[in-house]
Amino acid sequence: MGARPASRATFDHIKSDMKMMRILAITNQKGGVGKTTTAVNLAASLSATKQRVLLVDLDPQANATMGSGVDKRNLSGSIYQVLLGEKPLSNVRVRSGGNDYDVVPANRELAGAEIEMVDLDEREKRLKIALQCHTEDYDYVLIDCPPALSLLTVNGLTAAQAVMIPMQCEYFALEGLSDLVQTVKRVREHLNPTLEIEGLLRTMYDPRNTLALQVSRQLMDHFGDKVYRTVIPRNIRLAEAPSHGLSIMQYDLNSKGAQAYIALAGEMLNRRQEMHL
């Protein structure tokens, strides 16, 4: 006997799963790996495919805020007030400048949040609680975490369903990756049992570099299909865009960097669709 055809209820279930908000923490404990570049340009690329996207800036440097065309010096509210319970997320989110995604911005106030959160109830779950009112508003929430294992990062990992790890293919990156995988395991054991690694993204990639090729092979051998097929190349246009408060989509749509992030968004959407077939 052949397999029974899927019922309408089955297809409805697939559709409803695809509509569920997907929350990704973009993190690496090592700085300078293209983490914020990825957060901003992935948000812009996903929104260009008609996905409803929210970018949460959890880094006190507020680079994702500025890179989204939002002035961190002129905010009526920020993620700081959200984490302290002073304002709801809906009161502080703003539209990115020229892109079709929303931003929960940050500024230097956020640097003091960890000390102030220490005595709060459910201090590791403040972001998760804030996002629970918005499950119908977005298809993707991208959380740009600071480059350190801090209470802010733990909030991001506790709120997320999965982790995206941008990394350069160099020797020390492998050591940092091992530490980060252990952090994800600890958060899964104690705070967020469903947290998984969504994927590893090779950034600033130069295929002419022998070490980059070797590290890339090691990643593929160890993590298999967790490594995105898309690689983000070294690209001067990608480096220039943030200084103009623009995503690479706005700054130079024809650049190799823009085409790579468009490809990454497509790969993510395809993966998600395959998960529910």
Is the four-CA dihedral 167, 168, 173, 178 of positive or negative sign? Answer: positive
pLDDT in tens, 114-165: 899 988 999 999 999 999 999 999 999 999 999 988 999 999 999 999 999 9
When pLDDT is cut at 50, 70 and 90, the band that residue 276 belongs to is: low
On whether residue 145 sits in a domain, the answer given is: yes
When pLDDT is cut at 50, 70 and 90, the band that residue 173 belongs to is: confident
On whether residue 255 sits in a domain, the answer given is: yes
On whether residue 96 sits in a domain, the answer given is: yes
- Three-state secondary structure call for residue 57: strand
* Rounded CA separation 175/248 (Å): 30
CATH code for the domain in which residue 74 is found: 3.40.50.300
Query: What is residue 176's predicted lDDT score, i.e. its pLDDT?
Result: 77
The one-letter amino acid at 216: S
Does pLDDT of 2 surpass 60? no
* Rounded CA separation 94/97 (Å): 9
On whether residue 2 sits in a domain, the answer given is: no
Contact 8, 147 (CB under 8 A): no
Q: Which domain holds residue 165?
A: 18-275
Contact 144, 56 (CB under 8 A): yes
* Rounded CA separation 164/178 (Å): 14
Q: Work out how many domains the chain is built from and give that number.
A: 1
Query: What is residue 215's predicted lDDT score, i.e. its pLDDT?
Result: 87
Report the mean per-residue pLDDT for the chain: 89
On whether residue 6 sits in a domain, the answer given is: no
On whether residue 31 sits in a domain, the answer given is: yes
Does pLDDT of 110 surpass 70? yes
* Rounded CA separation 265/99 (Å): 15
Share above pLDDT 70 across residues of the chain, in percent, rounded to a whole number: 92
On whether residue 127 sits in a domain, the answer given is: yes
On whether residue 4 sits in a domain, the answer given is: no
* Rounded CA separation 152/133 (Å): 20
